[in-house]
């Protein structure tokens, strides 16, 4: 059986699935995907960005392993400090389903200037609520809402979260809601 692979720029407000709650927006609205398609990993409803889709379960297992880097850009509340970035890099304690967990070391850096993303479909907030900043974080693990929890743990809650890279695959200029079929993921 020949497997098929896709990249999608998941918009804010959509679930990373094809079936489920009738009132929720799902990925099947963007393209006529083949039978057996699955999202590799998840982006929660409030997150955006690069999502890989495949009909190949082995490829899905590989990408979800701790061997593959995932990079996220996040707009955070406030001007992120060097100390907060250092804490992210060495690992922070977060709660996952009422269990305390220390995250693995990762790569984190301030993004200046801010990335040129299109405005989100739902406004985040306006300038009268104070300054915001952008930070990049690259990790290989992926616990439930981990990136958001890590930033909150260092005092800078996430306002907007966009996954920009999985392994060597970049979101690039794929428009919000855009779908691109690829021969393989090159992993």
Residues serving a catalytic function are 44
Identify the H or E element spanning 132. strand 132-139
d(CA 153, CA 92): 7
Distance CA 92, CA 132 (A): 21
How is residue 187 written in tokens?
Answer: 């992993």
**Helix ranges restricted to H, 28-127:** 57-64, 82-90
**What are the Cα distances from residue 83, in Å, to 87, 101, 106, 140?**
6, 20, 14, 22
Phi and psi angles of residue 153, each rounded to the nearest 5 degrees, phi first: -65, -25
CA distance linking residue 7 with residue 24, whole number of Å = 21
∠ CA(107), CA(149), CA(151), 5° rounding? 50
């Amino acid at each position: 059986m020949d497997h098929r692979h896709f990249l999608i720029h998941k918009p804010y407000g959509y679930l990373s699935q094809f079936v489920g709650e009738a009132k929720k927006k799902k990925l099947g609205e963007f393209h006529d995907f083949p039978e057996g398609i699955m999202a590799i990993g998840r982006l929660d409803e409030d997150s955006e960005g690069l999502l890989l889709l495949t009909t190949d379960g082995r490829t899905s297992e590989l990408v979800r392993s701790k061997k593959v880097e995932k990079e996220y850009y996040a707009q955070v509340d406030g001007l992120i400090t060097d100390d907060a970035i250092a804490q992210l890099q060495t690992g922070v304690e977060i709660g996952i389903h009422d269990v305390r967990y220390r995250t693995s070391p990762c790569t984190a850096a301030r993004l200046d200037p801010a990335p040129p993303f299109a405005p989100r479909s739902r406004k985040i907030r306006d300038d009268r609520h104070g300054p915001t900043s952008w930070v990049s974080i690259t990790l290989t693990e992926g616990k439930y809402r981990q990136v958001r929890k890590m930033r909150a743990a260092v005092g800078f809650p996430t306002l907007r979260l966009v996954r920009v890279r999985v392994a060597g695959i970049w979101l690039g200029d794929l428009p919000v809601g855009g779908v691109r079929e690829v021969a393989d993921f090159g992993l």
